[in-house]
């Protein structure tokens, strides 16, 4: 009788029943534990520790600046090119780390996945949050340098900053859920992600200005290029940190419209990623 009552109780839930990403909000404490674990173990045993969050982007910036800015002359044709370059680098770095982390999240936590039930989406969301935490020191350095050069904040800058972050995080989570689910059964998925990330820096206006695409490619290629969520996010970051220092510099037309289309693409990617993840999550334990 107790068993039958439980089955008819509206509060009763079948163990292991998932409601997708909505379960993440119901298990915020577990999410915080996974996030603390990811942050604490990232540089475990490292001498420099969190300093690597500064060293890697600084080395990357120096390499690109010397080659693209100095040797190829981009620094001479653009005001405050170092700010333009670093704003793009940290945006693409956030996308790269978030996508790589979310793709590997289930496999990296295979011990937990096989032993106990947790909403599986907790792992990629925690991995995404970890990437965001390690993005903060980089944007902090950019902010300090921009302030030193005379940068001023505005409400539009703040809105553009939040919009750009939303684009990158939603898009990378959607791709991460999709490739992360496939990666459990077919480890080729991580190699596909590596290929995507190999082109990410060059497929967005990080090392060059977007108007070069408009000048040298068909119009439809340029329009497709501009609605790429990562491209739109990079350009929004340029508007936030670089444009106030170089207000007379040419900017792409209809950027907010392209960013809105990019957000729709990112949300569509998130929907496809969630559906794929939920379809495959029942087989995670047996594949791991």
Share of the chain above pLDDT 70, in %: 88
pLDDT category, 12, cuts 50, 70, 90? Answer: very low
Residue 102 pLDDT greater than 70, yes or no: yes
The three-state (H, E, C) secondary structure of 238-283, written as one string: HHHHHCCCCCCCCCCCCHHHHHHHHHHHHHHHHHHHHHHHHHHHHH
Question: What does DSSP assign to residue 66?
Answer: I
Q: How far apart are CA 70 and CA 43, in angstroms?
A: 33
How many residues are there in the chain?
Answer: 288
**Under 8 Å CB-to-CB from 225, ≥6 apart: which residues?**
203, 210, 213, 217, 231
Between CA 240 and CA 158 the distance in angstroms is: 8
* Close Cβ partners of 250 (under 8 Å, ≥ 6 residues apart): 209, 211
pLDDT score at 13 = 54
pLDDT at 16 over 80: no
The DSSP line for 139-193 is HHHHHHHHHHTT----HHHHHHHHHHHHHHHHHHHHHHHHHHHHHHH-THHHHHH
Q: Give the containing element (helix H, strand E) for 222.
A: helix 219-227
Task: Mean pLDDT check: name the lowest of 140-144, 173-177, 230-234.
Answer: 140-144
Report phi then psi at 190, rounded to 5: -65, -30
Residue ranges per structural domain of the chain: 26-36+51-287
Which tens digit of pLDDT belongs to each residue from 29-83? 778 888 887 777 766 666 566 667 677 777 878 888 888 777 777 777 788 888 9
pLDDT score, position 41: 72
DSSP letter at 215 equals H
Cβ neighbours of residue 100 closer than 8 Å, sequence gap 6 or more: 193, 194, 197
Residue 234 near residue 88 (C-beta atoms within 8 A): yes
The pLDDT assigned to 8 comes to 54
Q: Rounded distance, CA 149 to CA 225, Å?
A: 31
CA distance 168 to 113: 27
Contacts of 281 (CB under 8 A, 6+ apart): 18, 120, 181
This model's pTM is above 0.85: yes
| pLDDT value for 45 | 62
Q: Give me the pLDDT at residue 149, please.
A: 86
């Amino acid at each position: 009788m107790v068993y039958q009552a439980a089955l008819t109780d509206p509060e009763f839930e079948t163990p292991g029943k998932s409601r997708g990403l909505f379960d993440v909000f119901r298990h915020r404490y577990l999410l915080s534990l996974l996030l603390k674990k990811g942050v604490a173990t990232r540089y475990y045993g490292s001498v420099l520790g969190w300093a690597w969050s500064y060293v890697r982007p600084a080395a990357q910036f120096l390499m690109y600046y010397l080659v693209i800015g100095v040797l190829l002359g981009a620094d001479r044709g653009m005001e405050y090119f170092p700010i333009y370059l670093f704003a793009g680098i940290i945006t693409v770095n956030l996308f790269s780390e978030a996508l790589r982390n979310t793709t590997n999240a289930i496999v990296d936590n295979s011990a937990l996945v096989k032993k106990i039930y947790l909403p599986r989406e907790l792992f990629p969301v925690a991995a995404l949050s970890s990437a965001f935490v390690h993005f903060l020191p980089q944007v902090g350095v950019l902010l300090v340098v921009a302030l030193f050069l005379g940068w001023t904040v505005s409400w539009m800058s703040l809105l553009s900053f939040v919009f750009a972050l939303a684009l990158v995080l939603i898009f990378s989570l959607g791709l991460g859920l999709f490739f992360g689910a496939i990666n459990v059964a077919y480890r080729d998925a991580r190699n596909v992600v590596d290929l995507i990330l190999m082109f990410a820096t060059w497929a967005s206006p990080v090392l060059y200005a977007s108007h070069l695409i408009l000048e040298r490619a068909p119009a439809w290629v340029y329009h497709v290029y501009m609605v790429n969520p990562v491209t739109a996010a990079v350009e929004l970051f340029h508007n936030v940190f670089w444009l106030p220092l170089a207000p007379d510099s040419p900017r792409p037309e209809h950027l907010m419209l392209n960013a809105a289309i990019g957000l729709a693409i990112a949300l569509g990617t998130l929907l496809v990623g969630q559906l794929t993840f939920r379809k495959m999550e029942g087989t995670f334990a047996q594949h791991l």
